[in-house]
Structure 1
Amino acid sequence: MRIRLALRYTAISSLVLLIVMSISALLHIEKVQKVFTEKALREADVLSEMILRDSHHLMLADNNEQLQLMIEEIGRTPRVKRARILGKEGIVVFSMNKHEIGTTLSEKDESCSFCHLEGSKALVDVPIEKRSRTFSDDTGTQYLSITRGIYNEPSCYTAACHAHSPEEKKIGVLDMVISQDQMANLAHTHHQDVIVSTMIMLIVLSFCHYLLTKKYICDPIQGLLEQTQALSGGDLSARVKHLSGDEVGELGRSFNTMADNLAQAQIELKDWGNTLEHKVEMRTAEITDMQGQLLRSAKLASMGELVAGVAHEINNPLTGILMFASLSSKTPDLPPQVKDNLDLIVSETGRCAKIVRGLLEFARESFPEKKLDSINRIIEHTLELVSHQIIFQDVDIRYHGEDGLPDLEVDTDQLQQVFLNMFINAGQAMPSGGTLKITTKLLEKKNEVEIIVEDTGAGISQENLDKIFDPFFSTKAQKGFGLGLSVSYGIINNHGGHVDVKSREGEGTRFTIYLPIAGAASLEGAGKEGMSS
């Protein structure tokens, strides 16, 4: 590709140079040919002038023999092919060719035609262009024919040997034919030199043009092509390194700018893909959590309806059993074994009544009676209630409430019940002691308050973690009914908040409660649907 481009441009430029230089060479050759012709013409005219001057005295002395000898001597010169003197009637008087002496030439003869234009009388002082011509013979040899008039000077018409009247202007003609071989050879040599020098210049210029085109055009384009192919193959580091200050360099800079933008776009695309993947994961987690919450809410709603019916049906007979067993146990004549059995009935019936009361409490529709209150004050008051219980004897309670938290629209008693359940659960999870951390924090971007309750207790297994808000599910054998967290979950929902829990067995549990700063009342309907209690 690179060589073809260089050769193509070199061929085009060489063709243009060939045309221009050929025209220039032809013009030069034509001009030199004209100069050579003019020079030869002047030399021939000077030679004829010299011959006339030399023959002038011989004519005045009427020395015809000596004049003929001079003409013959001139004819022996290699360049002179014809030399003769014509009389005024066109008679050949003297000639290097003795056989034509005495012959008469017509006015149409080439030697006479210059001064007899179109049959006119002999002209005087004809310019050299009119009395000379060039021609070639059958062998191709070039000749120059020149004639020169012999005029009737005073010394001629006053001499005793001539009988010319003073009125006659021209009394004869010197006719000469001179070979142009030497001049033609010189011109031919010059023409060859011009052609050879032109070809050499053309070759040198073409070679230089090829090298310059290859270096300043083809090589940069080839480099740009290689980097373009590398970039199209996925190499985003491809750059044009050697940049010139011309248009090709500007093209390379544009390519580098495009490659930089493409690399930046690739980085941004990867970042966007990673961000999108992260957002998809977050959204999937949120959807999964929402599905869990909806499922939990549906379970709680259906459980609430079932519990409400069962509790109402059990409560009345259970009250009668408790009342009659209690009265019977107070009869003084009862045997000890019967009294013990009645006391056991009263105790277990009371336990059943307590369970029924919890069921009714779980199933009852309790709408929060909201008013502005400080979440820090509610937590501090709840800690005062539970901190003196024996289960917190070996527990290190650490509370950090963020200053300046805005008051929330909450039902103080219900939230206190939530915190009481969580604190007691935490204390029961640390029978051998541990640390209970409570932290409050304002989340301005989410317009929420975050409450974290974290213990270092036994923790909850992963298989039970999704069940802790289900009613009647408890990990405390013989110590609870499994309704505390279910009730707490419903209360938080009724306040427009939500609860997250994370736990590991042997490391502890962390509950995170989120309560809205504003608009909690508008979510009351959603909480009511999630917890039809």
Structure 2
Amino acid sequence: MRLNLISKLALATGLVLLCTMALFAYLNLQSLKGLLLQEAISEADRITETIIRTTHNQMLRDDRPLFYKTIEEIGNQQGVERIRLINKTGRIIFSTDDSETGTVLGKHSEVCGICHGGSQLLLTASSKNRSRRFYGKSGAEFLGITNAIYNEEGCYTASCHFHPENFKVLGVLDVVVPLDRMHSLLDAYRGRMLLLTLLLITLTSLSLTYFTQKLVNRPVRELLEHTQMLARGELDGLVHSFAQDELGELADSFNTMTVNLKKAREELEGWGRDLELIVQQRTQEITRMQAQLIRSEKLASLGELVAGIAHEINNPLTGILVFASLIQSNPKLDPVLKNDIETVLRETKRCAGIVKGLLEFARCAPPQKSPCSLNEISDAALELVRHQILFQDVTIARNYSGRVPSLLIDPNQIEQVLVNMLVNAGHALRGEGMVMVVTGVDPLQGQAFVKISDNGCGIPEANLGRIFDPFFTTKSNKGTGLGLSVSYGIVQEHGGHIEVQSQKGAGTTFTIFLPIPEADEPTLAPAPPATAQLPAEPTTV
């Protein structure tokens, strides 16, 4: 089981406090024990001083019964275990414990060793050095203190005493007191210290837990949750503001990092969308270029084949046409055969037209370019077709832009392209409708354009990709299917291209784009193509 941060801090703090308080309690107990022991020594020493001073006159009078009775009364007081009087030879001459009276103590005993334990006899010693601690038979601890009875002037001058003046110490008074009170105080103090230690540890742990939870654990948990959100890719959330400290700075850094990551992801997504759009555009361009290359290769290969076939067919076809004409003009011709000969002539001329178209398709003569006006070429193409019966009930409208510069093109070939487009529009109108011719400049492509629109039957979507293929036609018994192929080749030779938009039943728009000479490119402002209505010329033929 994994411990959280607050539990670890609480345990660590509790252990540190426990060790600190235990050391403090131990040192405090030792200090208190020393003070109590010193107090017990001082109290026992005062008892010996009191006995010596109280019995001084009795000893001067050598009133031993009264002296012993006084000692016995003092020994019967509470807090005194035993009092005994030892003479200078080590004999116990009196003791409150009758069993000890008359016994002799050696120099190395606990009582005598205080003065006789060293190499020299000590006449005086501090109360601490005169004290001793020992345990009785019952296991209780006692404190014994000895006090010397000195041979004062009043003693050796008294008439009742027989001690000479050179005796310095007449005897020793030994008092033994129990230390049970000291141990009781120490036990009580130890209990209070234990309770105080536990209370302090509890209060300190609770306080640290509370403040750690509020100041550390909660901010860290929020930062952890925010980090997990970032790992899941959720960049909308922000960390709440903390106090002005290191965690607050860390939260601000997290928020700044989140905002930067979100901004970077949005930029990457934008780049991805742009890249996808660019890839689609480039794919469309490549597809269109591939289609153009395939069509160009197809046209080139087909052109070589058609040129050979056309030359081979043209010679016998010319012979057929000449001899059929001679037969028709011969007066000896049976009138019954005259209609048949006319059919032969008509079909032969039709074949000759097809061969001529094949030769034009195969020839693809290089354009003879010269500076020309696209608007004037459009007018010339319109002039050629407007009087044809195909446009008898057709309205022709023009919308020319005055911003179209002179183009370096072959006027005859471009006029041929426009005528082909107009004738196709006339066929699509099926006798009535409207044709719109628009010229202008496309600022995005940087090319001039001429747009031919009709509101005819339109081209089926399935045929849009094939309309520039050679011999493809939807006209029954009309056309060779070479007009758009030839037009496509001419425009391509000029460095342009053709775009087609058509909707079945709504009409078709052919847009021919032609490059603008470099010298004229700076004049192309990115303004929209002019839509000012030039004098439209509706023509009903």
- Which TM-score band (shorter chain)? 0.7 to 0.9
Q: Please state if 1:17 is matched with 2:25.
A: no
Measured in 2, the distance between the counterparts of 1:332 and 1:105 equals: 191
Check 1:98–1:295 CA distance in 2 against 1; reply closer, same or farther (3 A cut). Answer: closer
Runs (5+) with no aligned partner, structure 2 = 519-541
| Aligned counterpart, 2:60 | 60
For normalisation by structure 1, the TM-score amounts to 0.83
| Contact map agreement 1:402 1:441 (CA 8 A) in 2 | no
Which range is displaced more, 291-300 or 495-504?
A: 291-300
Q: CA deviation at 1:413?
A: 1.8
Letter in 1 for 2:312: E
> 2:408 aligns to what?
409
For the pair 1:452 / 2:451, whether they are aligned, the reply is: yes
Pair 91,468 (structure 1): closer, same or farther in 2 beyond 3 Å: closer
Separation in 1 of the partners of 2:282 and 2:302?
29
**SS of corresponding position for 2:106:** coil
Residues in 2 aligned to 1:362 and 1:110: alpha-carbon distance in whole angstroms: 145
Distance 1:207 1:85 in 2: 61
* Partners of 1:98 and 1:320 in 2: CA distance: 179
Find the aligned partners of 2:78 and 2:509 in 1 and give their Cα distance.
Answer: 132
Amino acid at match of 1:38: Q
Moved more, 152-161 or 341-350: 341-350
> Partner of 1:364 in structure 2?
363
Distance 2:229 2:223 in 1: 10
Q: Could you tell me which amino acid in structure 2 is paired with residue 168 of structure 1? A: F
Alpha carbons 1:395, 1:427 under 8 Å: kept? no
1:498 aligns to what?
Answer: 497
Is the Cα contact below 8 Å between 1:449 and 1:517 reproduced in 2? yes
Counterpart code for 2:140: T
2:135 match = 136
**Distance 1:158-1:372 versus aligned 2 partners, 3 A rule:** farther
Q: How does 1:36-115 map to 2 (within 5 A)?
A: 36-98=36-98, 100-115=100-115
SS of aligned partner of 2:438: strand
Residues 147 and 376 of structure 1, relative CA distance in 2, 3 Å threshold: farther
Stretch moving more, 318-327 or 45-54: 318-327
Question: Does the 8 A contact of 1:71 with 1:94 survive in 2?
Answer: no
Contact 2:306 2:362 in 1 (8 A): yes
Paired letter, 1:468: I
1:145 is displaced (CA, Å) by 0.7
**Offset of residue 177 of structure 1:** 0.7
TM-score with structure 2 setting the length: 0.82
**Post-superposition shift, 1:509?**
0.6
Verify the 8 A CA contact 1:2 1:218 in the aligned structure 2. no
Give, in whole Å, the separation in 1 of the partners of 2:37 and 2:208: 38
1:230 Cα deviation from its structure 2 partner? 5.7
Alpha carbons of 1:473 and 1:184: their partners in 2 closer, same or farther (altered >3 Å)?
Answer: closer
Query: Is this contact kept in 2: 1:142–1:184, CA < 8 A?
Result: no
Task: Please say if residues 6 and 213 of structure 2, whose CA atoms lie closer than 8 Å, have aligned partners that are also in contact.
Answer: yes
Task: Give yes or no for the alignment of 1:197 onto 2:196.
Answer: yes
C-alpha separation in 2, matches of 1:23 and 1:145: 31
Give the 3-state SS of the residue equivalent to 2:84 in structure 1.
strand
Question: Deviation at 1:447?
Answer: 4.5
Partner of 1:528: none
Shift of 1:450: 4.0
Assess if the C-alpha contact under 8 Å between 1:107 and 1:119 holds in 2. Answer: no
1:406/1:47 CA distance change after superposition, 3 Å: farther
Partner of residue 154, structure 2: 155
* Alpha-carbon contact 2:405-2:516 (below 8 Å) kept: yes
Q: Is the 8 A contact 2:369 2:411 kept in 1?
A: yes
Q: Which residue of 2 aligns with 1:526?
A: none
1:436 alignment partner in structure 2? 436
2:482 aligned residue: 483
User: 2:284, 2:309 → 1: CA distance?
Assistant: 36
The amino acid across from 1:493 in the alignment is Q
Q: Residue 501 of structure 1: CA displacement?
A: 1.6
**Could you tell me which amino acid in structure 1 is paired with residue 48 of structure 2?**
S
CA contact (8 A) 2:488 2:498 kept: yes
**Per-residue deviation, 1:29:** 0.8
Q: 2:536 maps to which residue?
A: none
User: Which deviations, in whole Å up to 9, do the C-alpha atoms of 1:298-356 show, x marking residues without a partner?
Assistant: 44334323432333234334444545555666678988777777666655554444433
Distance in 2 of aligned mates of 1:330 and 1:65: 199
Q: Contact 2:142–2:177 at 8 Å: present in 1 too?
A: yes
Give the equivalent residue in structure 2 for 1:175.
Answer: 174
1:467 maps to 466
Q: What letter is aligned with 2:75? A: G
Structure 2: distance between partners of 1:38 and 1:147: 15
Matches within 5 A, 1:99-498: 100-118=100-118, 120-121=120-121, 123-213=122-212, 216-225=215-224, 237=236, 240-241=239-240, 267=266, 271=270, 274-275=273-274, 277-323=276-322, 349-383=348-382, 385-386=384-385, 391=391, 394-401=394-401, 403=403, 405-430=404-429, 431-444=431-444, 446-477=445-476, 480-498=479-497
Note if contact 1:85-1:95 (Cα within 8 Å) is conserved in structure 2.
yes
Following superposition, the deviation at residue 508 of structure 1 comes to: 0.6
2:375·2:439 contact (CA, 8 Å) conserved in 1? Answer: no
CA pair 330-95 structure 1, distance change in 2 beyond 3 A:
closer
Q: Distance in 1 between matches of 2:485 and 2:39?
A: 131
CA RMSD of aligned residues (A): 3.6
Q: Please name the residue that 1:522 is paired with.
A: none
Tell me: CA distance 1:421–1:116, structure 2 relative to 1, closer, same or farther (3 Å).
same
> Would the alpha carbon gap of residues 41 and 437 (structure 1) be closer, same or farther in structure 2, given more than 3 Å must change?
farther
CA contact (8 A) 1:370 1:411 kept: yes
**Deviation per residue, 1:209-268 (Å, 9 max, x gap):** 455555555555555555555665665556655756666666666665665566556555
> CA separation in 1, counterparts of 2:60 and 2:402?
150
With over 3 angstroms needed to count, the CA separation of the structure-2 counterparts of 1:89 and 1:292, relative to structure 1, is closer
How many residue pairs get aligned? The number is: 516
Note the alpha carbon deviations across 1:129-179, whole angstroms, 9 max, x for none: 221111111322111111112223332233222234444332222211111
* Counterpart Cα distance in 1 of 2:379 and 2:152: 156
1:455–1:363: structure 2 CA closer, same or farther, 3 Å change rule?
same
Question: 1:96 Cα shift?
Answer: 2.4
Gap change, CA 1:105 and 1:506, over 3 Å in 2: closer
Paired letter, 1:19:
C
After TM superposition, the structure 1 stretch with the greater mean CA deviation from structure 2, 223-232 or 48-57, is: 223-232
CA distance in 1, matches of 2:435, 2:363: 35
